[in-house]
Amino acid sequence: MAVVVNPGLDRSGNITAVPMNRFNNDEVINQRVTNDAEVRAQSHKIDNSQTGNENITGNEQAAKVRAERTEQEKMRMLLGFTTSTNAAEDLVSGLWRCASDVMQDLTNSN
């Protein structure tokens, strides 16, 4: 099994490495999107106390995403839950970084 290491940002804005494999990919994508949103909120001086350390999606939405059968369906569902253009752009950017092969499949299927 190959392990890919993708760079990311921690809460202080420092670059970190996140080991990726097929078993922790969903969790890492969700964590990376949450961390990226927190870093952006801090850099733009936005009050992010509502999300804190919690995931961007609620438990019900996360369960719906996990219930989808394919990675492509999960990504479409997650994108459907975004509520702003910036959040959607951050999500798509994070998905390209974390799951570029699946994003390529999505782009080719349209």
pLDDT tens-digit readout, 43-67: 544 444 444 434 456 788 888 888 9
Burial class (CB in 10 A: 0-12, 13-18, 19+), 32: buried
Q: How distant, in Å, are the alpha carbons of 44, 45, 50 from that of 96?
A: 23, 26, 27
Q: Which helix (H) or strand (E) holds 25?
A: helix 25-43
pLDDT of residue 12: 62
Q: Minimal CA–CA distance to 8: which of 108, 110, 98, 99?
A: 98
Would you place residue 2 in the very low, low, confident or very high pLDDT band (cuts 50, 70, 90)? very low
pLDDT of residue 39: 56
Identify the sign of the CA torsion 80, 85, 90, 94: positive
pLDDT in tens, 86-102: 888 888 888 888 888 87
pTM of this prediction? 0.40
Per-residue tokens: 43: 């850099």
Per-residue tokens: 80: 């459907």
